[in-house]
Amino acid sequence: MDAAAPFAPPPRRKSDLVYGAVAVVALALALVFFVAGEADTGADGAAPPLITVIEPRSGAAVSGPFAFVFETPATMTRDSTGWIADGRYHLHATVSGVELMAGTDDIESIGGNRYRWSIPGLPPGEHRVRLQWSGPDHRTLRAGGSAPFTLLVR
């Protein structure tokens, strides 16, 4: 071999391209699963309990302070950080794309598995609302949340 001859890489084989494509797909899937995290279920893979909004009904008009009355088959308990269900889920509301989190004094048990979440008020206009669970890391879980509904705030 001539020491002055430039180094030439070996020719590409079809298998090199296939392995490269498989690696790219595997990395893309790993990224999707990493970013999605607990998007649909809790950390143990079980779906969170269902939230059903009792009041206000979709299309209702509210003004000033009001409350969401909801029920869930989970028993909610109050701890130092707020209210949690099944020891790991806490309640969030998405109101026109903005997330609200209930504070320690914002929710009260009203009997059975019904709860009242006091809301100080929302800006006037029509709002699309959904109550949903978040995991311990505060990432919203799609599963278990209420059906979306609209409110007209005056």
Task: Name 51's bridge partners.
Answer: none
Within-domain flag for 17: no
Say what the pLDDT of residue 29 is. Answer: 43
- 135, 89 in Cβ contact below 8 A? yes
The two counts, helices (H) then strands (E), for the chain are: 1, 11
Within-domain flag for 23: no
Within-domain flag for 135: yes
Within-domain flag for 20: no
Which residue is associated with the tokens 């890391």? 137
**Count of the separate structural domains present in the chain:** 1
Say what the pLDDT of residue 87 is. Answer: 87
Residue 1 has pLDDT above 80, yes or no: no
Q: Which residue has the higher pLDDT, 136 or 10?
A: 136
Q: Of the given ranges (28-37, 79-88, 98-107, 125-134), which has the lowest mean pLDDT?
A: 28-37
Q: Which residue has the higher pLDDT, 81 or 25?
A: 81
Reported residue count of the chain is 154
* CA gap 30, 24 in Å, rounded: 10
- 120, 70 in Cβ contact below 8 A? no
Within-domain flag for 32: no
The DSSP symbol for 110 reads E
Mean pLDDT of 8-33: 57
Of the candidates 75, 53, 71, the residue with the CA atom closest to the CA atom of residue 62: 53
Residue ranges making up the domain that contains 85: 52-153
Say what the pLDDT of residue 24 is. Answer: 53
Within-domain flag for 24: no
Task: Give residue 25's pLDDT band: very low, low, confident or very high (50, 70, 90).
Answer: very low
Classify residue 76 as left (phi > 0), alpha (psi -120 to 50) or beta: beta
Q: What angle do CA 87, 93, 96 make, to 5 degrees?
A: 160
Number of neighbouring beta carbons within 10 Å of residue 150: 14
Q: Of the given ranges (40-54, 104-118, 131-145), which has the lowest mean pLDDT?
A: 40-54
CATH at residue 130: 2.60.40.10
Query: Over the stretch 47-96, which tens digit does the pLDDT of each residue have?
Result: 899 999 999 999 999 999 999 999 999 999 998 778 999 888 999 999 99
Say what the pLDDT of residue 30 is. Answer: 42
Average pLDDT, the chain: 83
Which residue is associated with the tokens 């790219």? 24
Within-domain flag for 16: no
Residue 27 has pLDDT above 90, yes or no: no
Residue 133 has pLDDT above 80, yes or no: yes
